Structure 1
């Protein structure tokens, strides 16, 4: 308690010190601290960020209206070295005394310590120097404002500004804009000197950015110029550039209107000392030459092997190591076709996606054999990556199972393994960790472990016995992924062996769209230590143990006559069998509610301890408008549908296989899972300002068992809570429904999740967030009968839990470290009149740690 009060006192003192700072301490005499910019357009105040971004100077940043970074900078000593030396200049004896006590070298080094020097460097770096009002920058800002309005159709704009002095050393600037009337486009004409280009333009004219009646916007003219250039260069105009396009804007004798003449000049080039002009030519590809083992470090390419295949010629300095089809399949530049920029880009992208070459280089040269000079030779230079590469990774992990873990992965990659540009990756991984699992009687720190082996084969095409080009053309960059994996756990839950394998096909239907079809997705989970169930799922044990104390008379089931706790495994299984079979002797008749509880506990135990075999087929599609990593205005939509067991049931039915005693089919003496599952995930971001973003996410998923199953395997079910879900609850600690998370690992087969965040800048790379999360999981159309856990009608939406809170994130460029503190705002597990804000306190809050943003 004493330590906590000390920290609180220190925090209060620092806060008082910062608040008491003089914000204009670093402002020179005769200068003003810029505190505010005001912009009025036609006598109306505006807050449009785009307009304010035209200004060269902006006031110091604020946090909730307070200039924290400016005040931190004011606290800092800008010359700590001089200050430290001045202590001894004025008092030489002080230096001598310290030198005898510490040594002269240590005294000098003391001046570089954190308290004398480092803390001021930190304050200067974290802080922000005062923004001094600069008239020259205000003049530049005024010019940019006029230019901005001119580019948006206001040709007669007038602009001015005034500087208001506020209190001592503080001032603000008021910009006043009189825009005048905006200009619109009237008649649109085109003058294209090259007839072939004129014909090409006619075919795309209707999609022009420049249309009669539109407001004049400079950006529309730039977009139209780029659109026309792209179209021309994708249709053979190899030498065409945007500078050949100009616009003649005529406003003479027009009232707020402008006539536009689009001009496309002829091709101009230098010949000797003179400039020549001629109509543009449309070029065709006469040859495609591929240099398969090009080295940029060599001055020449010594050809020792070559092959011609489907109109392509492949050269090699050594014996050719690739099947010709593997390389030519990646090329969209074809002999006899028109030159096209988009084919060059697509070829480069496909070749790079093979992952067996460094980034390719594609060059064109005029074919001198063509007397019309309208042919190009395409040269594709490929530099192979190393055939073998070795990699290692080291991870430190934390999860709901492991309090602390260290993982190591060792991988070997073999490229062009079958000479068809395939990539084979073999990885061995291992993990040791610390867990508070009760299966750790010796209390060893590293008491859990996991190891595994993964094999991945990537084939850069659709691997099927029939052609798929018409369904999935190679422009969609298709690939086939075959994986096989094995993992084994020790002292983790029930100690599982997990065998997986997939045969999946991936392609990109359009830019920023991806599709994946898993023809076969197989998983076999084998529980090695099922007798450890009640040690792991302690809540189930406690519930069963409490019931046994009211009814059990068999002394061999409990540990001692005093506590009468059930023994694991003999006592738990014995008492359960006695109750369900009604074969035991009890202290009193079993109440129906207690009988149902024992039955539910046993059903859950059987479901979580039985081995699972899943043979699924699924399809995943995603679409995003995100342009790059800095884009903060975009959406992402992802959906998935999965069917498991259908093929096996169809085979068993057609071959008239026998069912087991439960009425289900088996494979390898094991009941396989049968269900259908679908998911929808939608994320949307809005950038309010450069440093303020609103992020939203919604998710819905449901898995319905049928046929051979009446429940969903644990590995395919849903859970709620955690750092990427509802952050006011721990993982698996929310739901199902209003049941109150009575089990240790609560899961169900339907999930709804909705989250929203307001993200903002705090200090430098330190970001903050306010968030709200809503959602829950339910059981539906399965074997769970508990009313609190099941979803039966729209009235069950009242069981949606709500959490809210705040977070801090530090941006390290390559990833973000995130801390979120979630508070239970609405808890459906509580009584109806005690659900809102009853647990909204630090005691019941949850601190989440995460890497990168939650969505």
Structure 2
């Protein structure tokens, strides 16, 4: 029997070999693979270092960046042939196949100059027979006092299934070295979490035995040497202030006696200017000194300090000098050297923006990151911006300037407060935070102006793991006062004015505004009081800046309007529940309307690497809101809208829909139903220009918003004036707006600048491919 684990250099060898001067005219234009029945060409292409120039949209030999370089000297330099690299690629392919159980694989290559200075490199692969794992067994597992630990060990195995006996599984699957490595890592983690702290990689070996009857049939035996059993020893925590360690002013010890005998302790020291309570430091230790050693609890303690947001971890370890632990003792001490960040910070920012037009803004933010000595974060910010919008960019009215102002204060704690404080110690809570937020804003928009928007929010955030998070907005109260914009009001008057045969109006603007339909529309802009309780679950496995692999998903369910309803019924109402309330003590000068509703949304995004330099991404979004309890519509600020640089490009924010209603005829903005789909193909065509990776992107967006079935709006003749914008399974697919275009991405390490040039492929007013205008949008970060 021989060990199957070893050093696989192909997985780490990422250095490009030097190209000699003599080879500079030998350009690789084709790379082929033959004989690879069990491994795809795309997989092998990402494995080898011999490559052609980047192909646009995956079209073979279509390399525009290389052609641009030949003509103008900028773009992508030619991919030159290096025979040493080809030889190394043969080894990479061979090792890859051996890791998949093809131990008799043979790899050869041919290099053909099919045209002057143009070469084709072919890798000829003879795979040979594939080996299979017949069984996996274990020996050397230590005895546990708790029999459940042994059951958990076997049930969590990557090979658990049909049991031959109490330590052997029948597998009958293809040999894959990576799965064996994964099982080795699982065994090591299991042992370290159950007291066996000294285990190393070579403490668990997978031994391979070939069958006498069939050499391709393998039996795997995991040989385990767990070493000694250990417990946590004393814990030493030193906390210095922002200036760094220079002696400590206070100390505290917390003792943990063992069976009435002197036991272990947490020893803490800190400087006065750290301004942090000892209680906070002790609460971040996720284990008890003297209990069984657990690597997971040790790492959770490290993460707990990091999640405080006001501490730097200068050093942590299982020995005082950061060397290997002393395994000659039965207990292992733990050391933390910490340093607080500066408590106060003041930041000013100036920024450019583009929403409807081009604008600029400024803001200032003050932060206290340790308000009361328990990592409480308090911040106050003020910001404002102005945006110039041309008449061409507006469906109604001429050029104008939009203004926005916001003041915001936030208080947060790195733990769950009442009523969820008892959940802190649950196994599914990795870290948590509680937020209290109060904000005030004013803004001018296309269809309406927000005179005041006051929000109070209580939010709980829980990280279940690196991928999974939950958000609970337990209380979100909003008082919003809006007015229809002057241009919207004028357009409304024009739309509902009756004209005689000569085209002259037969009624005054005042008479039009007193019409039933117009009054009903203007009711939409009355001051509103809304509340919401919302739960959001998020799962992600991607880099949120690069977004070049994995997925992102978010699902949300909410119920709104119940707090003002209860106030109307039991506290400040007149006894009749009519959808309006008056706040006591003149807190708000007029009556406030409210609506009760349910709201659901689902957002799924996937990022598929299709080559080392290209990614195909898609996003699906669906949302539905349903008024209930006598309410017929949603508050203006709770509806779905469509359009914008991060939504369906080609339409400005809030400008698309509902349904097939033209932009200039929208009387009730937003909708209760939203469907949208987005795709984007991104490919790098220049590297390290201005320290950024330059991507070209081709995007296609589709979607719309619609009124829901309960949003009825009958005129004096009992006709539904919203019918053209209502969702219907018979017609909604005809009301899907579609846009497509090209864009540029400048990708720095922590920032992506986005420029998109979009055409409306399906304009709901003009039809398919009848709008020749190009629409520009700019954004920070990928659109999805």
TM-score range, shorter chain: 0.7 to 0.9
Which sections of structure 2, spanning at least 5 residues, go unmatched?
1-19, 160-168, 257-264, 585-589, 688-692, 714-719
C-alpha separation in 2, matches of 1:29 and 1:641: 62
Please tell me whether the aligned partners of residues 27 and 169 of structure 1 are also in contact (alpha carbons under 8 angstroms). Answer: no
1:262 to 222, 229, 245: 222
Residue equivalent to 1:363: 317
Match of 1:534 among 464, 486, 500: 486
**Cα distance, 1:470 vs. partner?**
7.2
Q: TM-score, normalised by structure 2?
A: 0.82
- 1:111 is aligned to none
Q: What is the TM-score when the length of structure 1 is the normalising length?
A: 0.75
The answer as to 2:634 corresponding to 1:712 is yes
Classify 1:281/1:437 alpha carbon distance in 2 versus 1 (closer, same or farther; 3 Å): same
Q: Which has the higher strand share?
A: 2
Match of 2:95 among 147, 167, 174: 147
- Please tell me whether the aligned partners of residues 254 and 267 of structure 2 are also in contact (alpha carbons under 8 angstroms): yes
Structure 2 counterpart of 1:674, from 589, 592, 595: 595
Give the deviation of 1:700 after TM superposition. 1.7
The match for 1:159 among 107, 118, 143 is 107
2:251 alignment counterpart: 305
Distance 1:416 1:647, change over 3 A: same
Return the offset for 1:130.
Answer: 4.2
In the aligned structure 2, how far is the partner of 1:262 from the partner of 1:45? 28
Higher relative contact order (CA 8 A, sep 6+): 2
Q: Shift of residue 360 of structure 1?
A: 5.8
CA 1:234–1:538 in 2, change beyond 3 Å: closer, same or farther?
Answer: farther
Tell me, yes or no, if structure 1 residue 645 matches structure 2 residue 558: no
Label 1:262 to 1:414 Cα distance change in 2 as closer, same or farther (>3 A): same
Q: Which residue in the other structure is 1:589 paired with?
A: none
Alignment of structure 1 residues 3-22 onto 2, 5 Å: none
2:279 counterpart residue number? 325
Distance 2:754 2:24 in 1: 44
Superposed, 1:839-854 pairs within 5 Å as 839=770, 841-843=771-773, 845-854=774-783
Report the Cα offset of residue 128 of structure 1: 0.8
1:481 Cα offset (Å): 0.6
- 1:782 corresponds to which residue? 711
Which of 153, 165, 170 is the matching residue for 1:204?
A: 153
Tell me, yes or no, if the aligned pair for 1:366 and 1:373 is still in contact at 8 Å. no
What's the counterpart of residue 805 of structure 1?
740
Note the C-alpha offset of 1:662: 5.8
2:680 paired with 1:757: yes
Which whole-Å CA distance do the structure 2 matches of 1:313 and 1:455 have between them? 37
* 1:343-354 equivalent positions in 2, closer than 5 A: 343-354=297-308
How big is each residue's C-alpha offset from its partner over 1:519-542, in whole Å with a ceiling of 9 and x where there is no partner?
A: 211111234xx4x73334553243
CA contact (8 A) 1:49 1:689 kept: yes
2:329 is matched with which residue?
A: 373
Whether 1:543 and 2:495 are equivalent positions in the alignment is yes
Match of 1:223 in 2: 182
- Give the 3 Å change call, closer, same or farther, for CA 130–450 of structure 1 in structure 2: closer
Please state whether the residue corresponding to 2:194 is helix, strand or coil. coil
Tell me the distance in 1 between the aligned counterparts of 2:429 and 2:527.
43
2 CA distance for matches of 1:237 and 1:45? 40
Report deviation, 1:457: 0.3
Report the equivalent of 2:232.
Answer: 285
- When Rg is computed on C-alpha atoms for both structures, the one with the higher figure is 1
Map Cα deviations across residues 440-460 of structure 1 (whole Å, 9 max, x no partner): xxx999955443321110022
From 37, 48, 51, the equivalent of 2:31 is 37
Question: Are residues 177 and 846 of structure 1, via their aligned partners in 2, closer, same or farther at CA, if it must alter by over 3 Å?
Answer: same
CA contact (8 A) 1:305 1:319 kept: no
Deviations 1:756-799 (A, max 9, x none): 23333344433233333222111121243325434364213234
Deviation at 1:630, TM superposition (A): 5.6
When residues 695 and 70 of structure 1 are mapped into structure 2, their CA distance, relative to the original with a 3 A threshold, is: closer
2:339 to 367, 383, 391: 383
Paired residue secondary structure (1:603): helix
What is the distance in 1 between the residues matched to 2:630 and 2:461? 30
Structure 1 contact 288–333 (Cα < 8 Å) conserved: no
Q: Pairwise mapping of residues 125-204 of structure 1 onto structure 2 (< 5 A)?
A: 126-132=75-81, 134-192=82-140, 203-204=152-153
Q: In angstroms, what is the RMSD of aligned CA positions?
A: 3.6
Note if contact 1:695-1:757 (Cα within 8 Å) is conserved in structure 2: yes
**For residues 144 and 662 of structure 1, do their structure 2 counterparts lie closer, same or farther at Cα, with a shift above 3 Å needed?**
closer
1:829/1:261 Cα in 2 relative to 1: closer, same or farther (>3 Å)? same
Which stretch of structure 1 is more off in the superposition, 387-396 or 164-173?
A: 164-173
Aligned-pair CA distance for 1:381: 2.3
What's the offset of the Cα at 1:614?
1.5
* Cα distance change, pair 656–62 in 1 and its aligned pair in 2 (3 A): closer
Q: Distance in 2 between matches of 1:516 and 1:72?
A: 49
Task: Please report how far the alpha carbon of residue 28 of structure 1 lies from its aligned counterpart in structure 2 after TM superposition.
Answer: 5.6
Q: Which has the higher helix share?
A: 1
Note closer, same or farther for the CA distance 1:547–1:699 as it changes in structure 2 (3 Å cut): farther
1:803-841 C-alpha deviation (Å, 9 max, x unpaired): 1422222233222232333333334446xxxx4x252x5
Alpha-carbon distance in 1 for matches of 2:524, 2:464: 40
Match of 2:604, SS? strand
Aligned residues: 712
